[in-house]
Amino acid sequence: MRDDHGLEPHSVNFAPRLNWLRAGVLGANDGIVSIAALVVGVAAATSDSGPIVVAGIAGIIAGSLSMALGEYVSVSSQRDSETSLIKRERQELQDFPAEELAELAEIYEHKGLSPSTAALVAKELTAHDVVAAHLDAELGINERQLTNPWHAAVSSAVSFLAGAALPMLAITLTPDSWRIPLTFAASLVALAVTGGIGAYLGQSPILRPVLRVTAGGALALALTWGIGALLGSSAGL
């Protein structure tokens, strides 16, 4: 993507947006697939609305809490690792400043700069912000933009609830004979939309992610429908 002058906005840091995007898209997709598969499976086993609604609500509560907890634990572990690396790098800069400067120059030399230019770049970056220079060159970390576990947890839980709402509405607001096919259709359309949005925001081709999530969702729904129908027949429901 280029600006009005035809230049690419390299100064924009996409890491925070991609972190939210990852958690949000994952949560929405999981909400759609999990709850749609759950209610379709129950609906295939019984036409009674009570068990379908109870199963769906229980799945939504459990799923949203599970997604939030999983994202919080995962991102917290990532942040702890980044914090530990930053602390170690600060200590090394304090204990071995000359060696760290030489290491920074060597990194830029390996990237294609001449030894003299690499040494000059390392020296100027060190004078500007020694910690930031080494974190970026050695570890690819921006200390001001570390991952936030609470952001990821909330984003994941909210997006799961948003995704789960559609199959719940489809399964509860439609006549018995249309419950399963309409839930199938609505869920696959929603998966295609979330896959397309995720690809668009991530600036990647749209077709492949859309096909991937819709095919996976269709498979999950078909399997749970088959299992529910089989169990319902066996139990005489």
Instruction: Tell me the domain boundaries of the chain.
Output: 15-89+148-235
On whether the pTM is more than 0.75, the answer is no
pLDDT tens digits for range 195-204 = 888 777 777 7
**Span 98-126, average pLDDT:** 87
Mean of all residue pLDDT scores within the chain: 83
Residue 218: CB atoms within 10 A of its CB come to: 15
**Dihedral of the alpha carbons of 40, 45, 48, 50, in degrees to the nearest 10:** -60
**Span 161-181, average pLDDT:** 90
CA–CA distance, 170 with 176 (Å, rounded to integer): 11
pLDDT at 101: 87
- Closest-CA residue to 70 (of 3, 154, 171): 154
Measuring CA to CA, how many Å separate 75 from each of 11, 85, 153?
Answer: 25, 15, 9
CA–CA distance, 204 with 209 (Å, rounded to integer): 9
Percent of the chain topping pLDDT 70: 88
CA–CA distance, 67 with 65 (Å, rounded to integer): 5
In 150-217, the DSSP E strands lie at none
Residue, of 190 and 25, whose pLDDT is higher: 190
3-state secondary structure of 210: helix
Give the residue carrying structure tokens 């089989």: 230
**DSSP letter (8 states) at residue 139:** I
* Angle, CA of 62, 162 and 164, to the nearest 5°: 50
Q: Which amino acid is at 72?
A: Y
pLDDT at 90: 87
pLDDT at 23: 66
pLDDT at 69: 92
pLDDT tens digits for range 24-62 = 777 888 999 999 999 999 999 888 889 999 999 999 999
Q: How far apart are the first and last CA of the chain?
A: 56
Contact 189, 174 (CB under 8 A): no
* Angle, CA of 73, 194 and 169, to the nearest 5°: 95
